[in-house]
């Protein structure tokens, strides 16, 4: 199984001839959707979901299907059984891969801003993408896709989240708003220059891949 970073929150998981795309939002090259077997969307914010772009991909490939939460599914109405609404506790098969769904709400950005629904996806029992939340799935996580930086988080919470999940490996996602200096500072705090975690942490540059 190969994991490829495609900018900010989007990753692609390739397993043989199966290509699963997660959160291809506005900060991601639309080419990430090319050849997709299926798409997972954690929530409706534009850095994770662009309705027009995803509709275009669905129009271009009649076999393509999407799994997401109910609020996103409602924005893709008219596509029939190709869009599947899922929620916390669901277990589904996506492009031949077992996927379990965890969590319900996006993290709080500010108490005066409305929260949206958010689901995390554990793919094949091996890779967990929490979307925009510090959801702990309550099951072993070999590879955690770690939201490194967001308007709703602080680095202390990021460190504590990694410790709580206890994954074998963590890779950064949701890092598109950080420059090289910020990436170095946050990465250092997760590693030898800060409190650190028992989980090895790494960051893939856009287009870079890792074997899982």
Task: Kindly report the backbone phi and psi dihedral angles of residue 99, in degrees, each rounded to the nearest multiple of 5, phi listed first.
Answer: -130, 130
pTM: 0.96
β-strands 2-5, 11-15 pairing: antiparallel
The stretch 100-119 carries a mean pLDDT of 97
Checking if the pLDDT of 114 tops 90, the result is yes
Checking if the pLDDT of 78 tops 90, the result is no
The stretch 21-34 carries a mean pLDDT of 96
Residues whose CB is less than 8 angstroms from the CB of residue 93 and which lie 6 or more positions away in sequence, other chains included:
99
The stretch 119-145 carries a mean pLDDT of 98
- Secondary structure of 58-125 in HEC code, one letter for each residue: HHHCCCCEEEECHHHHHHCCCCHHHEEECCCCCEEEECCEEEEEECCECCCCCCCCCCCECCEEEECC
Residues whose CB is less than 8 angstroms from the CB of residue 11 and which lie 6 or more positions away in sequence, other chains included:
3, 4, 5, 21, 22, 23, 127, 129, 145, 173
Query: What mean pLDDT value characterizes the chain?
Result: 96
pLDDT tens sequence across 36-66: 999 999 999 999 999 999 999 999 999 999 9
Residue 123 CA to residue 143 CA, distance in Å, equals 10
CATH class of the region 2-205: alpha beta
Do 23 and 31 form a contact (C-beta atoms < 8 A)? no
pLDDT at position 192 is 84
Residue 193 CA to residue 47 CA, distance in Å, equals 30
Residue 102 CA to residue 64 CA, distance in Å, equals 23
pLDDT band per the 50, 70, 90 thresholds, residue 80: confident
Residue 20 CA to residue 68 CA, distance in Å, equals 13
pLDDT tens sequence across 153-201: 999 999 999 999 999 999 999 999 999 999 999 999 998 889 989 999 9
């Amino acid at each position: 199984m190969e994991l490829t970073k495609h900018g900010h929150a989007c990753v692609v998981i390739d397993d043989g001839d199966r290509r699963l795309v997660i959160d291809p939002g506005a900060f991601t090259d639309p080419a990430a959707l090319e050849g997709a077997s299926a798409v997972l969307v954690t929530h409706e914010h534009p850095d994770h979901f662009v309705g027009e772009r995803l509709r275009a991909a669905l129009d271009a490939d009649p076999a393509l299907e999407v799994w997401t939460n109910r609020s996103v599914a409602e924005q893709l109405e008219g596509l029939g059984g190709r869009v599947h609404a899922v929620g916390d506790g669901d277990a589904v098969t996506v492009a031949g891969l077992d996927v379990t769904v965890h969590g319900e709400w996006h993290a709080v950005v500010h108490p005066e801003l409305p929260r949206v629904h958010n689901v995390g996806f554990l793919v094949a029992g091996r890779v967990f993408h929490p979307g925009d939340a510090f959801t702990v799935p309550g099951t072993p996580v070999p590879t955690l896709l770690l939201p490194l930086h967001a308007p709703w988080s602080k680095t202390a919470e990021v460190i504590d989240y990694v410790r709580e999940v206890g994954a074998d490996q963590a890779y950064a996602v949701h890092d598109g708003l950080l420059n090289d200096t910020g990436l170095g500072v946050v990465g250092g705090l997760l590693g030898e220059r800060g409190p650190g975690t028992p989980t090895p942490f790494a960051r893939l540059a856009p287009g870079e891949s890792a074997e899982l």
